[in-house]
Structure 1
C-alpha cells in the first residue's frame, strides 16, 4: 500500500507550467516549452522550420525523432518512446503520455519530474500538465497520491546534453 506523501512546505517546482492553449494537439509543443522555458509559439515556429506544417494536422509529424530535434536545439537530449507501467519506470525528467488509448494510439502529454531536496534526503515527484483544465488544481499535481490517478503509458526521458571538452 502506498503511503500518502505530503507536499513539502514551500515547495516550488523547477518547471513552470505553460498552457497548450485551445489547440488540442499542442500538448507536445507545450511540454517542450515547459522543458526549455520557451513559449508554445516559439516551439511551434521552431518545428515549422524543421518541416512540420503550420496548419492542420501537424501532430503526425511530431514523432520521437522530431521531439528529439526540437529538444537538442535547447541542449537537451531525448530518449526514444518507451512503455511505462507507472511513474517508477520514468527517469527524473520525462515527457509522459497519459490517457492513452491503445485502439487509436492517442494520448496526451505532460511533463513529469522528480525534484530532490537540497540535502538529497527526499524526492518530490510532480507533473506539470499543459492541458487547459477548468480546475487549476490539476495544472500541477504533486506527490504519489495525486499522481496515481494519472498513469503514464509511454514516456520520453529528457536530460541535459553532455558538455564536450
Structure 2
C-alpha cells in the first residue's frame, strides 16, 4: 500500500463552530408483528461523518481548491488529516464526501469552505481497554507516574 496523501500543514484545521461527528447506524431493524423491534448488527465497520468548516485566506483558499481538484482528483482519493475526536487530536484517514461548499467570502480576504468528511475508521479506543475501565480512566495519572523523573532514594 502506498503512503497516504497528507493534508497540507499550511492549511488550517477545521473550525470548532458546527464541528460534529455522526456515525452511520450499524444496525438493521425489523419491526415484529407485536410492534417490538428486532435489532442486529449489520456491519462491523461503518463510516463516521464529520461536519467541518474551514476559514482560509486567499492564498490558502486557492491552494485548497487546486489541491482538491488535482491531488485528491476531485475528492475521490483518501487523505490523512489531524482531526479532533473524543480521543484527542489524531491523524485520521478521510475523504471529502461529495463536493465541498464555497468558497464564501466572509471578510475582506477570508474565505469559508464547508464539507462533510468521511472517516475510514470509527474513532474508538483501542481494543482491550474496554475490559479495564479503571486503567482507561486513570491513564493520565499512570502516564504522569511513568514519565515523571523520580528523585533518587
**TM-score bracket, shorter-length normalisation:** under 0.3
Greater Rg over alpha carbons, structure: 2
| The structure with more strand, counted as a fraction of residues | 2
Larger RCO of the pair (alpha carbons < 8 Å, separation 6+): 1
With normalisation by structure 2, the TM-score equals: 0.28
| The structure with more helix, counted as a fraction of residues | 1
With normalisation by structure 1, the TM-score equals: 0.26
